[in-house]
């Protein structure tokens, strides 16, 4: 996609998160992502704890128990970055399109005395050298990327050989005919629902989890594992919708303006998408090829 096509989208994403992040932090806390409610979504828990559990479940799924240098792509206000920096005693870098988010994340890093830095940067052109991170972590950012292949290519580039990619992202249901009996092209009604979600949340498009896996394979990622955690995270939208009716949330929405009120209304669209099986929560973990650990190495 050309720069002329990307820039207006980038500006809309920046404005959306500049405007909404403060309200989200006041109402829901520092983690700007889904929560994990057990594999089947039936565990009842505090939404904040569910968000922490999502981080821990993703680490467990990838089998990662240590990291020295972490990149959080789409870092928000530093929720995951700072959690991981503290957990592993690591250095964390976070990038976001929102100057408001980057500043707030930096303030939180100073307040918590953790080794983390945050900056405004484009995930499709990351300002980092090749082979410099043990882990690239990205929660619910892939959906904003106008070029999914370039996004994963950049993740691969900045990873050290043997480093881990850990990604969770909004997807639509699979449309690949051979693998799944129910697979079929998206219906006009499904496409219309997706377009409404795209417009309000400033998404270029989303793809299926098998499509992400195919991209990762084509770029050379190894030990790729995928999972559909839709059932595990779907209850989060009920919690968010309920909390949106608190006095703090209502006053914040009125102050934030019509764009953010629209975003709150779109929560119901997301819930509908999950209920219909259209919106899927895709998880992909993989490792960058490491020639030194190759079976063919002497």
pLDDT of 245: 57
**Residue 239: its pLDDT value, please?**
82
- pLDDT value at position 24? 83
Contact (CB, 8 A) for 241 and 267 = yes
18 and 100 Cβ atoms separated by less than 8 Å: yes
Strands 159-172 and 279-287: antiparallel
What's the count of helices (H) and strands (E) in the chain, helices before strands?
11, 7
Residue 292 within any structural domain of the chain: no
Phi, psi of 24 (to 5 degrees): -60, -45
- pLDDT over 90, % of the chain: 74
Domain count, the chain: 1
Render pLDDT for 180-222 as a digit per residue (tens, 0 to 9).
Answer: 545 689 999 999 999 999 998 999 999 999 999 999 999 999 9
* Cα 282 to Cα 286: distance, rounded to the nearest angstrom: 13
- Reply yes or no on whether the pLDDT at 126 is more than 50: yes
Q: What is the mean pLDDT of the chain?
A: 89
Least confident of 10-14, 145-149, 175-179, 224-228: 175-179
Burial of 228 (0-12, 13-18, 19+ CB in 10 A): middle
pLDDT of res. 258? 54
Q: At what angle do helices 47-62 and 235-243 cross, to 10 degrees?
A: 150
Asked, for residue 41, whether it belongs to a domain, the answer is yes
Domain, as residue range, for 129: 3-287
Inside any domain, residue 64: yes
- Model pLDDT, residue 255: 57
> 296 in a domain, yes or no?
no
Domain-located, residue 202: yes
Answer yes or no: is pLDDT of 241 > 80.
no
Enumerate residues 6+ apart whose C-beta is below 8 A from 119: 93, 94, 95, 102, 127
Whole-number Å distance between alpha carbons of 19 and 154: 28
Q: Which residue has the higher pLDDT, 123 or 24?
A: 123
Residue 236 CA to residue 104 CA, distance in Å, equals 24
Q: Are 96 and 134 in contact (CB under 8 A)?
A: no
Q: What is the pLDDT of residue 174?
A: 93
Q: Which two tokens stand for residue 213?
A: 């896996």
**Which of 170, 20, 26, 32 has its CA nearest to residue 94?**
32
Q: Return the higher-pLDDT residue of 209 and 271.
A: 209
Q: Quick one: pLDDT at residue 242? A: 73
- 236 found inside a domain: yes
102 within some domain: yes
Q: Is residue 88 part of a domain?
A: yes
Sign of CA dihedral 51, 34, 212, 39: positive
Tell me the per-residue pLDDT of 29-88, one tens digit each, with 9 for 90 and over. Answer: 899 999 999 999 999 999 999 999 999 999 999 999 999 999 999 999 999 999 999 999
pLDDT tens digits for range 151-185 = 999 999 999 999 999 999 999 999 876 555 456 89
Which residue from 278, 282, 266 is spatially nearest to 202, judged by alpha carbons? 266
CATH of the domain at 81: 3.40.50.150
């Amino acid at each position: 996609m050309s720069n002329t096509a990307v820039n207006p989208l980038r500006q809309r994403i920046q404005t959306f998160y500049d405007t909404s992040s403060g309200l989200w932090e006041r109402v829901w806390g520092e983690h700007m992502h889904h929560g994990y409610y057990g594999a089947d979504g039936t565990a009842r828990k505090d939404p904040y704890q569910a968000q922490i559990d999502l981080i821990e479940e993703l680490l467990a799924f990838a089998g990662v128990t240590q990291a020295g240098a972490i990149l959080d792509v789409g870092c928000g206000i530093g929720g995951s970055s700072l959690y991981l920096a503290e957990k592993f005693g690591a250095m964390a870098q976070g990038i976001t399109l929102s100057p408001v988010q980057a500043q707030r994340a930096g303030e939180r890093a100073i307040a918590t005395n953790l080794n983390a830095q945050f900056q405004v940067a484009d995930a499709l052109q990351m300002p980092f050298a090749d082979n410099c991170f043990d882990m690239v972590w990205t929660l619910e950012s892939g959906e904003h990327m106008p070029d999914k292949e370039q996004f994963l290519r950049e993740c691969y580039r900045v990873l050290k050989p043997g480093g881990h990619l850990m990604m969770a992202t909004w997807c639509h249901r699979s449309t690949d005919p051979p693998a799944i009996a129910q697979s079929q092209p998206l219906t006009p009604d499904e496409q219309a629902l997706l377009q409404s979600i795209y417009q309000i949340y400033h998404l270029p498009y989303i793809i299926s989890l098998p499509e992400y896996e195919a991209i990762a394979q084509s770029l050379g990622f190894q030990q790729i594992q995928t999972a559909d955690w839709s059932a595990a995270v779907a209850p989060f939208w009920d919690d968010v919708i309920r909390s949106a009716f608190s006095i703090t949330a209502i006053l914040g929405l009125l102050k934030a303006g019509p764009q953010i009120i629209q975003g709150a209304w779109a929560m119901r669209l997301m819930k509908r998408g999950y209920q219909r099986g259209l919106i899927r929560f895709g998880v992909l973990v993989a490792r960058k090829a490491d020639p030194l650990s190759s079976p063919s190495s002497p």
